């Protein structure tokens, strides 16, 4: 599906988010082992990983790129999809779900949660996300038609 480069900003945000998420997942797994490290050490480790994610952008993006290769074969056109038979848009490496107005499905609608998280973190978001409503495309066909003309998020 041609998207005329419009997922580029989402790609970079997804790469950083995926890298940071991978670091967070590693932090959750590390305390599980033969000798638990204790709550205080786990908290300190999470703080260290958060600092790493904030300050070591190159490494975090490198981790994200590896996840992107795995999840979307390194293709930008697979970052924003509406698959046949599905009633929702799927965004980014995390397959963040966004339903159109009145639609619900078997998955948790996670795009509003992501937008709220990004706002809390002070991330500048496009104006069309304020206020956040339902997915602007009611169907896959409408999304595919719009994707041929959209050039920027």
Domain chopping of the chain, boundaries:
8-75, 78-147
The Cα-based distances of 95 to 82, 88, 89, 100 in angstroms read 11, 11, 9, 16
Q: Which residue has the higher pLDDT, 59 or 30?
A: 59
Residue 134, exposed/middle/buried by CB under 10 A (0-12, 13-18, 19+)?
A: middle
What's the average model confidence in pLDDT over 114-129? Answer: 81
Nearest of 137, 53, 29, 43 to residue 90 by alpha carbon? 137
Closest-CA residue to 134 (of 65, 87, 76, 92): 87
What is the per-residue pLDDT for 98?
A: 94
CA separation (Å) from 91 to 96, 101, 138? 5, 17, 16
| Contact status, residue 88 vs residue 99, Cβ threshold 8 Å | yes
* 53 CB burial (10 A radius; 0-12, 13-18, 19+): buried
Tell me which range, 11-25, 78-92, 138-152, is most confidently predicted by mean pLDDT.
78-92
* pTM of the predicted protein model: 0.63
CA 105 to chain CA mean position, Å:
19
Give the mean model confidence (pLDDT) for residues 83-95. Answer: 88
pLDDT at 32: 46
Q: What is the pLDDT of residue 139?
A: 95
Q: What do you get for the CA distance between the two ends of the chain, in Å?
A: 16
The pLDDT score that the predictor gives to residue 9 is 53
- Whether the CB-CB separation of 105 and 99 falls below 8 Å is answered with yes
pLDDT at position 109 over 50? yes
| Confidence check: pLDDT of 3 > 50 | no
Q: Kindly give, in sequence order, each residue whose CB lies less than 8 Å from that of residue 149, ignoring residues fewer than 6 positions away.
A: 4
């Amino acid at each position: 599906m041609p998207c005329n480069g419009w997922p580029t900003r989402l790609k970079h945000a997804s790469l950083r988010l995926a890298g940071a998420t991978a670091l967070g997942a590693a932090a959750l797994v590390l305390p599980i082992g033969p000798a638990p490290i204790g709550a205080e050490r786990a908290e300190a480790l999470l703080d260290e990983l958060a600092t790493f994610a904030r300050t070591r952008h190159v490494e975090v993006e490198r981790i994200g790129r590896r996840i992107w290769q795995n999840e979307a074969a390194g293709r930008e056109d697979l970052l924003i999809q509406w698959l046949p038979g599905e009633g929702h848009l799927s965004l980014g490496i995390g397959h963040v779900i966004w339903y159109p107005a009145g639609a619900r499905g078997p998955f948790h609608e996670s795009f509003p949660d992501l937008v709220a998280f990004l706002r809390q973190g002070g991330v500048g978001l496009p104006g069309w996300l304020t206020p956040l409503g339902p997915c602007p495309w009611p169907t896959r066909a409408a999304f595919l038609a719009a994707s041929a003309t959209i050039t920027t998020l």
